[in-house]
Amino acid sequence: MNRITSRRDLLIGAGLGAGSLALGALAPGAAFASQAASNYIDPLAPRQPHFPAKVKSVIWLHMAGAPSTLDLFDYKPQLIKLHGQPLPESFSKNLKTATDGGVGALTATPRTWKQHGETGAWVSDLLPNIARHVDNISFLKGCKTEGSTHVISSLKLHTSALTPGRPSLGAWITYGLGSANPDLPAFVVLPTGKGGAGGGNGQVIWSAGFLPATYQGTSFRQGDSPILFLQRPDRVVQAEQRATLDLLKQVNEKHASRYPADTELEARTRSYDLAYRMQVAAPEAVDLKQETAATRAMYGIGENPTDEYGTAVLRARRLVERGVRFVHVISGTQEDGIQSWDAHQEIEKNHSIMSKTVDKPIGALLRDLKARGLLDSTLVVWTSEFGRTPYGQTGDGRDHNPWGYTSWIAGGGIKPGTYGATDEIGLRAQEGIVDTYDLQATVLHQLGLDFQKLTFQHQGRTEKATTVFGDVIKPILA
């Protein structure tokens, strides 16, 4: 054990050392950070999972604003029959509504429905491209959550808490597995649309929370320079920058040699090198000019309204190809007056635009991943903070519904089909209930991480990604 010689040593030993113990326990041969720089181990070094993983990466398709899955996946003939009637008491009993819109009359979906594929999954005419891939998808039709506002439920979906401060799922995964590509962030966020933060929730849904900040998501921008302030200033040539960094490294190493217990100095030196490598790797990873024109067209790039979302989703594919662990794609649109799926009014217009925005790109993603053999090593998750009610709101909208909605998962180790169900009108999850904790536990499981054993010491307590809750959804595992 190192002798503590200063207050700084004590803080490093107490803080980073605790992480070291936690991670060392879950990943033999690895540690988050040792107490001495001479034993420094990169906190992003790849680590072994708890058990053999089914997938290497996750593409998390976050449908910000909450789509009405009653208009997309959850076909309810009974709701059509009851259209225009008040919500029957048999369904509304014990319903704890909290939003201001009140409970309007039941509103049938005007969509046309068809069963698709060998699994016979129902998909509405709003999503014809996703419908072609149902035989790769496990539909979770009994999803439920807590909260009735976007911020609270988005936090729960991503961090398992209803208030900010806990790490997001992508951060836990990065903490658990490290990075598979030292030249790129392990956790990338791809926001789209004018409300690019997604449901007005912003960075808190891809935060590292109480985990070290190195595990937080890195938000990529549109365009050739995806990371803010990463690129070399225009008037500095590459040789000049390299010479500057080499000099800086020499000076830092000389200084660090006087403080062998200081991991911060070692980390700082490494961060300069990482940024330098990223200057090349990050633009290359998102350079869609390297894709064929046919591929770009398949994703809807170069046409409206799919250009931006298609770009994000194709970038996601390129990122997982390069070993990025978790890519969080947040849906949005450039359409005036519509930022997300949040259709309290004009749901027909809203869902028509939002569906057109995401359907073709997601269909292309599934097709592309499969064609490249990547779907076996990637988990594609389609989810939102909640769904929308079978009863109407403001005449032509639907309210928030945390009690029953559909999410889906496709990819490695997932059995296609339909799991769970809502009640006859699609109000509440009734069978095969999946809470957000369960969804997170299942994603971790597929990555080879035991959600009960992936822990971090925080304020004297052993913290877990899904807090004290969660069960792996075993019936959907192949």
Partner 1 sequence: MRKQWLAAGVSIALAAGVMAAGIDFSDFDDALMESMDDAIRELDSNVGGRDARASLANAAVLGEGFAWAEKYFAAKPEAPLGAGYAREGKEHLAVVVQAIEAGNFDAASHGVRAVVRTCKACHEAYKPPE
Interface with partner 1 by CB under 8 A: which residues? 93-98, 146-149, 152, 155-156, 160-163, 402, 435, 437, 452, 455, 460-464, 467-469
CA distances from 9 to 23, 42, 212, 213 (A): 20, 18, 17, 20
Least distance to partner 1, CB of residue 29, Å: 22
Q: Is 172 or 220 the residue whose CB approaches partner 1 more closely?
A: 172
Least distance to partner 1, CB of residue 468, Å: 5
Least distance to partner 1, CB of residue 161, Å: 5
Least distance to partner 1, CB of residue 163, Å: 4
Nearest Cα neighbor of 79 from 397, 429, 425 is 425
Least distance to partner 1, CB of residue 155, Å: 8
What residues contact residue 100 under an 8 Å CB cut-off, 6+ apart? Answer: none
Name the pairing type of β-strands 326-330 and 57-62: parallel
CA pair distance 257, 464, nearest whole angstrom: 37
Least distance to partner 1, CB of residue 341, Å: 20
Q: Is 408 or 437 the residue whose CB approaches partner 1 more closely?
A: 437
Q: Is 306 or 455 the residue whose CB approaches partner 1 more closely?
A: 455
Three-state secondary-structure class, residue 193: coil
Least distance to partner 1, CB of residue 102, Å: 15
Q: Which two structure tokens, joined as six digits, stand for 415?
A: 């059995």
Q: Is 90 or 462 the residue whose CB approaches partner 1 more closely?
A: 462
Q: Is 95 or 243 the residue whose CB approaches partner 1 more closely?
A: 95
Q: Is 136 or 455 the residue whose CB approaches partner 1 more closely?
A: 455
Nearest Cα neighbor of 440 from 54, 164, 60 is 60
ω into 182 cis (within 30 of 0): no
Q: Is 163 or 271 the residue whose CB approaches partner 1 more closely?
A: 163
Element (H, E) at 129: helix 128-131
Least distance to partner 1, CB of residue 457, Å: 9
Give yes or no for a contact between 306 and 334, defined as CB atoms under 8 angstroms apart: no
Nearest Cα neighbor of 459 from 6, 8, 14, 26 is 14
Nearest Cα neighbor of 88 from 424, 430, 431 is 424
Give yes or no for a contact between 406 and 449, defined as CB atoms under 8 angstroms apart: no
Q: Is 56 or 156 the residue whose CB approaches partner 1 more closely?
A: 156
Give yes or no for a contact between 414 and 138, defined as CB atoms under 8 angstroms apart: yes
Q: Which two structure tokens, joined as six digits, stand for 208?
A: 């590292």
What residues contact residue 474 under an 8 Å CB cut-off, 6+ apart? Answer: none
CA pair distance 81, 22, nearest whole angstrom: 55
Least distance to partner 1, CB of residue 178, Å: 23
